[in-house]
Amino acid sequence: MREDPIKLLTDIPSVHAAARGDHVAVEFEGRRLTYAELERRSDGVAGLLQQAGVKPGDRVAWLGRSSEAWYEIFFGTAKARACLAPINSRLAPPEIAFILRDSGADVFFVSPEFFECALAVAAQVDRPIRLVGVGAAHEGFEDYAALRDAAPAPALSRPALEDDVLQLYTSGTTGLPKGVRLTHRNYAAFLALRHEVEGFAYAAEDTVLILMPLFHVAGTNISFSGLASGARLVLMAEFDPPRVLEAIGAAGVNHVFMAPVMINVLLQTPQIADADFSSLKTVCYGASPISEAVLKAATERFGCGFIQFYGMTETTGAGTTLAPAEHRGELLRSCGRAWPTLEVRVADETGNALPAGRIGEIEIRGPIVMAGYWNRPEATAETIRPDGWLRTGDAGYMDDDGFFFVHDRVKDMIVTGGENVYPAEVENAILGCPGVADAAVIGVPDDKWGEAVKAVVVPAPGEAPDPAAIIAWARQRIAGYKAPKSVDFIEALPRNPSGKVLRRELRKPYWEGLGRNVG
């Protein structure tokens, strides 16, 4: 087998620009970015960042709608040996402001939909922020394309494996997002592994549909794997079911990754009756559990191999995989077996490995484990054991054949539509609402989202708060997807002797009769 010349992410534009520069790298809303253009434009981004004083190790922020410019900016930032920190565009302004402060980014790329938001959050940061508008002109923003095209040639040096290249923020149990530091070493391991994992081993002639957002590890990883293969990415900024169904046939899509909620929505879309799936080779899914009913229906309708991925942002998205041939019988409830070269185990609280069949916490070890959380040494130490095992927070077990099954969540995290929501964050947003004395937040089954956020509220004495008012109160303080979808009332929350809310007891009646306690 010929040795892969792509070792680091920064090799992708240069290798393919030299070998197949005219080939389309990214197609987006009628625009086509070739590999040669990706190489030239990312060089321009590296030059403008260096001219702006960005140094190796600095963070560069992005807030915007997905577009081909994201790839130019990512690879340019990496070439400058800086680290891109894409911000979840679904977050509320206070959360975005926190990330901008926490990252230390002084250059902030923003697309037109978020110009006003960016101006507001930049005003909350106690340092000068250079705002760069991507895709349109606006007062207070410099023009991205003009800066890129006028930038001096960059002074490039090969990144070190220890350099941080991507910082993705994930919600924290304390309510503050945590920046996951992913390095060139992490992605060098990922790029090497992609040849051995079904669902990532694309061909240069393939077309890969990108539906996941580019602030999510699934969106970035499918993109990087596709580009490393020299394939064509077809990018969609919004998940519009009829357009997705049309694009699969019209663009001859061979591979796509979707969160289970996306698959379920497509199955309910009337246009699916006439959709052309003949080009599809694989549908990958992950980010949250999938119901067996949805999986069976999708497998029959799409008529291609389905591949499940289980992992975390903290493991560069890697962990276990369930191959198409393994989608059968009881294994439909499994998240698969460990990726090659990775170690996955089930352990007890003290870090002792448990035998097959015993429920404990799923842990992952290998070169794909993050460098740590940005500015959070204590949180890093809580998540990564001294011997390198990363605690996922998921409770599960392994069978005798090495297949893993997720049973519950150790830390009460809710996964709704592929997005992580931590109860403490939502509870903090609810408490303070007039008429609310106490509150707990849980995930409950939802046919569309897998899980839906529910608030269980103790009314203040003599009060009868309106559920809609509580939801509206929360939505003003946190992202809409984190806010409760429903509110139930209770006289008192169940707590243990130390005062900790027993969320498991609150969840129990909603999950009765189901095979597992996660969506």
* CA 413 to each of CA 177, 340, 503: distance values in angstroms, whole numbers, following the listed order: 14, 28, 11
* CA 309 to each of CA 43, 94, 200, 283, 336: distance values in angstroms, whole numbers, following the listed order: 33, 32, 11, 11, 8
Q: Give the count of beta carbons closer than 10 Å to the beta carbon of residue 464.
A: 8
Structure tokens given for 43? 């060089």
* CA 498 to each of CA 494, 495, 501: distance values in angstroms, whole numbers, following the listed order: 11, 8, 9
How does pLDDT run along the chain (519 residues), one tens digit per residue?
Answer: 568 899 999 999 999 999 999 999 999 999 999 999 999 999 999 999 999 999 999 999 999 999 999 999 999 999 999 999 999 998 989 999 999 999 999 999 999 999 999 999 999 999 999 999 999 999 999 999 999 999 999 999 999 999 999 999 987 555 678 999 999 999 999 999 988 888 888 999 999 999 999 999 999 999 999 999 999 999 999 999 999 999 999 999 999 999 888 898 899 899 999 999 999 999 999 876 677 778 888 999 999 999 999 999 999 999 999 999 999 888 988 999 999 999 999 999 899 999 999 989 999 999 999 999 999 999 999 999 999 999 999 888 999 999 999 877 777 888 888 888 878 788 878 988 999 988 999 999 998 888 999 999 999 889 999 999 999 999 999 999 999 999 999 999 998 755 678 888 999 899 887 766 665
What stretches of 348-498 adopt beta strand conformation (E)? 360-365, 372-373, 390-398, 404-409, 414-416, 419-421, 436-446, 450-459, 486-489
C-alpha torsion sign, points 199, 203, 206, 210: positive
- CATH code linked to domain 1-186: 3.40.50.980
Residues 229 and 227: their CA atoms lie apart, in Å, by 5
pTM for the structure as a whole: 0.87
SS3 at position 7: coil
Q: Strand 207-210: give its sheet, edge to edge.
A: 31-34, 24-28, 232-235, 207-210, 255-258, 282-285, 305-311, 319-322, 337-338
Domain locations along the chain: 1-186, 414-511
Q: The domain 414-511 belongs to what CATH superfamily?
A: ANL, C-terminal domain (3.30.300.30)
SS3 at position 330: helix
Residue keyed to tokens 């708060």: 465
Residues 84 and 208: their CA atoms lie apart, in Å, by 23
